[in-house]
């Protein structure tokens, strides 16, 4: 498949969105599902353990085929990174980087609802239940 075919498919999707049609894209005779990011939320830090905390990021998506809403949940992780090629003097140099990683505490995408608020409330309850055990 050439780049022009992919771009043509994307342009068709954009035109469908502007017309209000259901979103559809086909690549190599395969229907590709399209999901719309509806909203994104970030929670304040949650203390876990004595000196560690988690910050959750919740994205709510709409399945454009069936209109159902579902979440993808991430949390922020802090990594200390050092270069892989370094001299002995540079070996003590680290860089702290914050990376958002997909959360696997729960099967988040199995949570569905008829509207974004319903899904958000279900996710918040699940998080609350996990940390109040």
Give the model confidence (pLDDT) of 21-52 as tens digits. Answer: 566 677 777 777 889 999 999 999 988 878 78
The answer to whether residue 123 scores a pLDDT higher than 90 is: yes
User: What does the alpha-carbon distance between residue 44 and residue 98 come to, in Å, rounded to a whole number?
Assistant: 16
For residue 53, the model assigns a pLDDT of 86
Q: Please report, for the chain, the start and end positions of each structural domain, with discontinuous segments joined by +.
A: 1-32, 34-131
Q: What residues does 96 pair with on adjacent strands?
A: 80
Q: Is the dihedral of CA 13, 42, 116, 30 positive or negative?
A: positive
> For the whole model, what pTM was predicted?
0.72
């Amino acid at each position: 498949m050439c780049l022009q075919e992919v771009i043509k498919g994307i342009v068709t999707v954009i035109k469908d969105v502007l017309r209000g049609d259901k979103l559809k894209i086909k690549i190599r005779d395969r229907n590709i599902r399209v999901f719309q990011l509806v909203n994104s939320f970030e929670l304040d830090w949650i203390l876990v353990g004595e000196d560690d905390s988690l910050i959750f990021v919740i994205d709510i998506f709409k399945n454009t085929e069936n209109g159902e809403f579902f979440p993808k949940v991430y949390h922020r992780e802090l990594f200390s990174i050092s270069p892989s090629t370094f001299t002995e003097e540079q070996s003590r140099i680290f860089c702290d980087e914050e990376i958002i990683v997909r959360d696997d505490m729960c099967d988040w995408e199995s949570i569905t609802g008829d509207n974004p608020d319903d899904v958000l409330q279900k996710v918040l309850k699940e998080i609350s239940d996990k940390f109040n055990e």
